[in-house]
Structure 1
Amino acid sequence: MQAIEADGLVVRLGRRNAVDRLSLRLGRGVHGLLGPNGAGKTTLIRTLATVQSPTAGTLSLLGTPANGKLRPVRQKLGYLPQHFGHYKRFKVREFVEYLAWLKEMPKKQIPGAVKEALERVGLSDRAEDRMKSLSGGMVRRAGIAQAIVNEPELLLLDEPTVGLDPAQRLRFRELVAELGQRACVLISTHLVEDVAAACTDVVLMNEGSVVFQGTPADLATAGTTTHVGDSPIERGYSALISAKSAGGAW
């Protein structure tokens, strides 16, 4: 069973299709979602997280149609939005506990699961601190902790490394590699180097649809030295985006 199965998926926002006849199948592993601003990445992630409803086409999540009963799916899902709210007076532990409760985790499992999630993101020593006292990078790590607290089968991360320093980004890559051994992990990011280092599979979106899906090595061979970029994978990204964009502009 694929964790994500989309065929002809359309998600309309206002007068335009933010996701336009997209077809995609993803299973276990770590998948990177790349694309320029306005490509539809965040809308796709929100739709996969059951926050946004599809307009047309078909979508199945963990074997359940997106127009079906989504409560069981949401219990097995982890989601880190690009921007997420929280009560600033919550302690870090309370914040993660609250999200575990929303995911309907068994009450007896929550304390141990929260402790483990905070350990995995390096926040054990800040568990009793207020959220308002954390730096931006620490808040992001608390967001990752709440996303993984229920050991999700489908983990959706929108710009998860924003605010993380280089050492923390390395530890994040190790964490998602571990999670990807038993779950489908989809990471939306602008940082091509994160995808090259952490992901086994790359999905490139532009103008609401998929323009490439393959390995980071495949992406690296798509460009030449004439394309913009400091590395082969960046030049491959530039080549594919410019081929899709109107007039060949990058």
Structure 2
Amino acid sequence: MTIGKEHHMMSAVSAAGIAPTAYAWQIQATGLKVRVGRKRMAVNGVDLSLGTGVHGLLGPNGAGKTTLIRTLATVLRPTEGTLEMLGESAGGMGEHRALRRRIGYLPQEFGYYKRFTVREFVEYMAWLKEVPKADIPAAVQRAVERVGLADRADERMKALSGGMVRRVGIAQAIVNDPTILLLDEPTAGLDPAQRLRFRELLQELGTDTCVLVSTHLVEDVAAACTNVVLFAEGRLVFQGPPDELASVGGPEHMGDSPLERGYSAMLLNPEQGRGTW
């Protein structure tokens, strides 16, 4: 037998790469409460388990969606209950530096230096997330390509439209190839064609990432999400596949689609959803 150019090479795999996953869920919360201000409990006793896939976070204004996402991003600290992310406790005052390297986060509004180019800004965010220096150029190029901004990568941020800035925000959130991706209203400012491409990107990311995306656009959830998380008044009132939520609604409920009518029905009677999943 001749061993030459056609021989099979075994790729080097680190011990971490072959070690079994030490956690059942990427995100697991039990009795989670988060207080905003002195009195208001914006997240009030939530039990939630999320794994790989795309999870759509729905709810009216003031429901607690942004507070939940900020808590998962380790920006806010839980007031009560337990929160584990990737098998690590994310509560209390502990140092979450290692955990943050594995999280991608896009807030509703994010700050940036207007004089930076797109590439410079995403490079800077990759550096903050401790992406290895040698890997940063390729990681940045891949991120800007995935959001359709490769041809604008060397333009300054101040020259971009609002929708383009939002796409840069998505690029910085995914530049470190996160295990958990948290997106708060990511489609704000995107035109219909950009939203369609974003849905495709979500589905792509959800194959090996736990994605939680907060949105007011029920149709985005219907098109891209495998799971719906519905919040009302700081509480989880429904979790399940979009088809299950759609089945709750009827012609008497508000909405232009079955999912919108199911959403309206559940908000009218939130107790209906508890204990059904």
TM-superposed deviation, 1:242:
1.1
1:86 matched to 2:109? The reply is no
10, 13, 30: which one aligns with 1:7:
30
Query: C-alpha separation between the residues in 2 aligned to 1:231 and 1:24?
Result: 27
**CA offsets 1:72-114 (integer angstroms, 9 cap, x no match):** 1100000000111111111100110111011011000000000
Query: C-alpha separation between the residues in 1 aligned to 2:158 and 2:242?
Result: 38
104, 107, 114: which one aligns with 2:140:
114
TM-superposed deviation, 1:243:
1.1
Secondary structure of the equivalent of 2:269?
helix
After TM superposition, where is structure 1 displaced by more than 3 Å over at least 4 residues in a row?
A: none
Indicate the residue corresponding to 1:24 in structure 2. 48
128, 132, 142: which one aligns with 2:168:
142
8 Å Cα contact 1:31/1:186 also seen in 2: yes
1:56 matched to 2:80? The reply is yes
Query: C-alpha separation between the residues in 1 aligned to 2:182 and 2:34?
Result: 18
1:205 matched to 2:231? The reply is yes
8 Å Cα contact 1:105/1:150 also seen in 2: yes
TM-superposed deviation, 1:160:
0.5
1:46 matched to 2:91? The reply is no
Q: What's the TM-score once normalised by structure 2's chain length? A: 0.87
TM-superposed deviation, 1:51:
0.5
- Could you list the runs of 5+ residues in structure 1 that have no partner in the other structure? 246-250
TM-superposed deviation, 1:69:
3.8
RMSD, aligned α-carbons: 0.9
Query: C-alpha separation between the residues in 2 aligned to 1:183 and 1:156?
Result: 10
Indicate the residue corresponding to 2:210 in structure 1. 184
Q: What's the TM-score once normalised by structure 1's chain length? A: 0.97
Structure number with higher relative contact order (C-alpha < 8 Å, ≥ 6 residues apart): 1
8 Å Cα contact 1:78/1:148 also seen in 2: yes
Query: C-alpha separation between the residues in 2 aligned to 1:23 and 1:143?
Result: 29
Secondary structure of the equivalent of 1:125?
helix
What residue identity is the alignment partner of 2:176? N
Secondary structure of the equivalent of 1:213?
strand
